[in-house]
Structure 1
Amino acid sequence: MPIVVGLISDTHGQLRASAMQALEGVELILHAGDVGNRDVLVELKALAPVLAVHGNVDDIDTPELEAHRWLSLEGWQIHVSHGHELGRPTPEGLLYRYADASILVFGHTHRALVHRAGRKLVVNPGAAGPRRFDVVPSVARLTLEAGVADVEIIEID
């Protein structure tokens, strides 16, 4: 049975109703940092358990936020970080730094991205918070089963 994981990042204290709708039915939510405030995590937890990391604008002393998260689901080794620890994160840089991961989830750039390198997957769900730059807000749904990882970027308004 596949597991569906919601991916969200860069909420910066704003959680849109459309983001909540896009994440309905997921079994777990991974927040890749720049949460903004705890209210965002409380609202997300109404949908599913949440694992979150801190970004460059978060208070690193917030107990719910860690610098990195490692987890294993359906045989996939997943690493979550904001990406700012690399300066300007790129799929190649993340794959090099976290070589033990088969799926890497990050934020920081505010740009949605799906990059495959062999059996490895790098995903940035985009920025779900206030509209910045020329970016359309988005989240992602990651569907995992043994040997198969699919991801869908969902634009939100």
Structure 2
Amino acid sequence: MIVYDTRFNANEWFVIVGLCVGVVLTVVFPKRFSRQVAAVFFMCGVYSGFFFDHSLSVEPVSFYDVNDVSKFQMMDFISYWMYGAVSYFFFYIYDRLQPKASYIPLYILVWSLACMGAEWIAVLCGVYHYSHGYKFIYCFPIYLLVQSAWMALYYTFKRKGFV
């Protein structure tokens, strides 16, 4: 087990503030979706974060660790909920703007870059610790892939009349 930090400091504050701001904004913004659809859109971020963190940060080759130590802790679990607001607002803003289909790649690109910016701040705060040759830039195609899947989900829900 690798210990990066033993104090309550920037990485915990980043997660707590990110989670609180995201949840408050999710609750305060005008409702655009039914509760069920909003919950699915929120859980897309939670699930995506959990899936990729546990795919890339587990043995035999752990490409990065989250927060203070290399083993799973409660703050790691809390950090997954922080991603929920990101996915919710990905869907919310897209639904609000209703851009032409030709702008979907640009929308995904902008969101992927924004997520890279947020991740860079998280790295500076000590939330992520990369290892075994893994680099920050490797996250970019993951964001592109995840948000493309989210867009496919949005249009599936739209075809079914849920949105």
Name the TM-score class by shorter chain: under 0.3
User: What's the TM-score once normalised by structure 1's chain length?
Assistant: 0.26
Higher relative contact order (CA 8 A, sep 6+): 2
User: What's the TM-score once normalised by structure 2's chain length?
Assistant: 0.25
Q: Select the structure that is richer in strand.
A: 1
